[in-house]
Amino acid sequence: IGSAVPMLVKIAYLILGMAMAALGLNVNFSVIAKEGVRPMVSAVTCSFVILALSWFIVRTWF
What is the per-residue DSSP string for 15-28?
A: HHHHHHHHHHHT--
Over residues 13-26, the pLDDT tens digits come to: 999 999 999 998 88
**pLDDT for the residue numbered 57:** 95
**pLDDT for the residue numbered 26:** 87
Domain boundaries, the chain: 4-61
Local structure of 58: helix, strand or coil: helix
CA distances from 17 to 14, 41, 47, 54 (A): 5, 26, 20, 22
Over residues 4-56, the pLDDT tens digits come to: 899 999 999 999 999 999 998 888 888 888 888 888 899 899 999 999 999 99
Q: What is the pTM of this model?
A: 0.53
